[in-house]
Amino acid sequence: MFRSVSVCCLLWLGMAEVGAAIAMVVVPDGLGGTTYTFEEMSANPLVPVSMVLSSGFRMELPSGMFVASGPGSGGASDIVGVFPAVARVRETGSGGAYDVVSLLIGADGSYASFGFDRAFASGPGQSEARFALVPGGPGALGIAPEALVPGTHVVSSVLFGPVTVTVVPESGSAG
């Protein structure tokens, strides 16, 4: 079963820690949801073209980022979002730009799958790819602040290298 939410995020593509390639900050929006901003801190790694999915990319999410019940809020449902382009990645070898237009977060909060607006295509004879993140935002997440664990969470992504997500606590729970 899927629960639709307005999730916008190259979300967990980033966070802020020394050595992180991508840094993302998630902040309560005061309306029951969260907003995020992200930036590329250093160049993302070169990866073999064979490791890039044509439809987008999948990455693990930082363990401990979600409360024990997971993002499905007590249910066994995935979180699915389809939205206008909220972020763009540019492949530096071929020069192709891909808008990120969909997101699925697994019910257990262990992974996210991001979908491109079109199929990835490498350039002639290209064997490696490097994706540069074009930041946008802030973006909106349809995930309640209480479903996220405040603090800094880190995970490694094949396409993006070290990803650090900093979850800012709600002001009432910050002390």
Which ranges of the chain would DSSP assign to H, the alpha helix? none
User: Residue 18 is encoded by which pair of tokens?
Assistant: 């020394």
Q: What is the pLDDT of residues 119-162, one digit of tens each?
A: 998 888 999 999 888 876 677 777 788 888 999 999 888 888 89
Given a cut of 90, is residue 21 above it in pLDDT?
A: no
Distance, in Å, from the CA atom of 116 to the CA atom of 135, rounded to the nearest integer, reads 15
Residue 131 half-sphere exposure, CB side, CA atoms within 13 Å?
Answer: 29
Nearest to 116 by CA among 129, 100, 130, 104: 100
pLDDT for 98 equals 87
User: Residue 156 is encoded by which pair of tokens?
Assistant: 């490694």
- 23, 17 Cβ separation under 8 angstroms: yes
Write the DSSP assignment of 65-90 as a string of letters: SB-TTTTTTTSS-EEEEEEEEEEEEE
